[in-house]
Structure 1
Amino acid sequence: MDTRSRLELANDNAAAFWLAQGRAHGWESVRTPRFTAVRCDGDAEVHRVVVTRPYGEPGALKEELLAVLRKWRTERLCLEDPYGRLDMRPHGCEAALGQAVMVREPGQGPAGGPTAGRRRPEPAGVLTAGEAVDPEGLAEVERVVVEGFPMPARLPPAAGAMLPPGLLRTPGYRAWLARVDGRAVGACVSYDDGTAVGVYSVATLPEHRSRGVGRAVVEAALAAHPDRTATLVATLLGEPLYRRLGFTEHGVSRWWRYPATPSSMTV
């Protein structure tokens, strides 16, 4: 019987997602009972750490984390702390705004309420969404994610630099595109770890925002896994959409970045 909380389920999916990315790139990783770390190597890469379990004394966990980061000579870092008790400021880090860790139960449809049926501007063309199943499609996903966030360190996008074609052969890993009149304008990726499916890197090109593109691409990913619990971490802008899709908050994650210059990061 799975005794994990929904927050732990989401944390474990995020850790597994980054481990899958690491394997596709050939990156080093560390797994402990309380966190997972992936040494994302490359000029535009940021080492990733996901705290996966509650911890008692924050100082003890911090020393354990710092030992790994010192060994790796970490110069850029994104650390996700869903329990919010670490203070990484003494080590040159800066915390972003807290982000909701959200979960949708299997079979849960869009939520009701006054915002569920509100009208939005129609896409300027025919909107479709589906899976990217070949290297060309994955390159389009990468381009939309890089340009949609945007990720300055990855501009102009280089196909395969962030999402290598090997990810398409990774069990559980899938990529999704939304198109308007055949042009890729929205994207996300998903990872099924055998218990839950996590949705990541939801992005829409600026000129197509607030027209249902993000909803379409997320719904496509969710529809492919109707029997799975779904998890994600929501930005403030994305949270209302996810609530309308039936997600509920199970925690707030504090993301620490190093060095303390969020505008220069690629995450």
Structure 2
Amino acid sequence: MSPLLLANRNAAALWTALAQARGNELVQRPGFVGVRGSERGGTRILLLGPDPDEGDLAALTELVRSRRDGKVVVEDQFGAVDMGDLGLTPRRLPVMIRDTAPPGSAGGTSPSSSAMEVVRADSPDLLETVERVVAHGFPLSGFLPWHPGEVFPRTMLERRDVEFFLITRDGVPAGACMVILDGAVGGVYWVTTLPEHRSRGVGRALMHAVLERLSGLPVTLTAATAGKPLYDSLGFDVITQATWWS
């Protein structure tokens, strides 16, 4: 399977997992996956291939138009659609992948400070901390003010394909991320460092721990502008510029 299709399939697994955990309506068609979320969460649509048919395009258009509050994101990794006529505005974000690598092979130098510790968030209390860090640090503005359990419901701890990681600095929560495992690739999402801990190596330490956990698998992510230099240094390569319509 091509790197782009691996990344796309992992993103589909992410939105499927979130829809199921949050109790959102999940729309699954050959050409896209759609999540009709809450008023705060909005609607999310992910294109699954470069050639959606007329039925897919009609269903996608209806899903966008039915969102009266305007909270819609259409993620198109293939350049397959133009949502401008529906009032959406595009932005470009790089989809990146890191080839299979053995343990300890992450690029760059891992911060050695004993003040930082990365743990898997596998309990309700730790998950709530991860959720708070991501909601405020990323930030997820649609979910602010933050309500515990709304972004990452506790039922996500029961899923084998989802893992959460928390990094502390001097014993204080400093960053977090979410990982989706679909067998062929690991996807990393919402890599977050809280503002007061930025420029201290927190993001690099977190990514080193995650890459160690995912050793033996390709790893994919979509990079924000601020994070791309870190991912470049860790051996990630850009495979496409996805268009996000919102």
| Aligned-partner Cα distance in 1 for 2:58–2:141 | 32
Q: Report whether the alignment pairs 1:30 with 2:19.
A: no
Moved more, 66-75 or 227-236: 66-75
Residue of structure 1 in register with 2:212 after alignment: 223
Residue of structure 1 in register with 2:44 after alignment: 48
Residue of structure 2 in register with 1:264 after alignment: none
Of all paired residues, the percent bearing the same amino acid is 36
Residue of structure 2 in register with 1:90 after alignment: 85
Residue of structure 2 in register with 1:265 after alignment: none
Q: Which amino acid aligns with 1:178?
A: I
Q: Which runs of 5+ in 1 are unaligned?
A: 258-267
Q: Which amino acid aligns with 1:94?
A: T
Work out whether residues 13 and 191 of structure 1, in 8 Å CA contact, stay in contact via their aligned partners in 2.
yes
Residue of structure 1 in register with 2:17 after alignment: 20
Instruction: Decide which of 162, 168, 173 is 2:157's aligned counterpart.
Output: 168
Structure 1 position 71, deviation (Å): 5.8
Q: Which amino acid aligns with 1:141?
A: V
Q: Which amino acid aligns with 1:20?
A: A
Residue of structure 2 in register with 1:249 after alignment: 238
Residue of structure 2 in register with 1:261 after alignment: none
Q: Which runs of 5+ in 2 are unaligned?
A: none
In structure 2, relative to structure 1, the CA distance for the partners of 1:76 and 1:156 (3 Å cut) is closer
Look up the SS of the partner of 1:186 in the other structure.
strand
Matched length: 244
| Aligned-partner Cα distance in 2 for 1:212–1:167 | 28
Look up the SS of the partner of 1:33 in the other structure.
coil
In structure 2, relative to structure 1, the CA distance for the partners of 1:21 and 1:89 (3 Å cut) is same
Instruction: Decide which of 75, 94, 105 is 2:99's aligned counterpart.
Output: 105
In structure 2, relative to structure 1, the CA distance for the partners of 1:71 and 1:77 (3 Å cut) is closer
| Aligned-partner Cα distance in 2 for 1:71–1:92 | 13
Work out whether residues 103 and 230 of structure 1, in 8 Å CA contact, stay in contact via their aligned partners in 2.
yes
Residue of structure 1 in register with 2:166 after alignment: 177
Work out whether residues 22 and 150 of structure 2, in 8 Å CA contact, stay in contact via their aligned partners in 1.
no
Work out whether residues 47 and 74 of structure 1, in 8 Å CA contact, stay in contact via their aligned partners in 2.
no
Look up the SS of the partner of 1:87 in the other structure.
coil
In structure 2, relative to structure 1, the CA distance for the partners of 1:23 and 1:34 (3 Å cut) is same
| Aligned-partner Cα distance in 2 for 1:74–1:249 | 33
Work out whether residues 24 and 170 of structure 1, in 8 Å CA contact, stay in contact via their aligned partners in 2.
no
Structure 1 position 61, deviation (Å): 5.4
| Aligned-partner Cα distance in 1 for 2:2–2:83 | 26
- The root-mean-square deviation of aligned C-alpha atoms, in Å, is 2.3
Work out whether residues 199 and 218 of structure 1, in 8 Å CA contact, stay in contact via their aligned partners in 2.
no
Structure 1 position 72, deviation (Å): 6.6
Residue of structure 2 in register with 1:187 after alignment: 176
Detail structure 1 runs of 4+ shifted over 6 Å in the superposition: none
| Aligned-partner Cα distance in 2 for 1:137–1:18 | 22
Q: Which amino acid aligns with 2:40?
A: A
Structure 1 position 60, deviation (Å): 7.3
Instruction: Please list the CA deviations of residues 201-244 of structure 1 after superposition, one character each: whole Å capped at 9, or x if unmatched.
Output: 11111121121111122222221121211111011111111111
Q: TM-score, length-normalised on structure 1?
A: 0.83
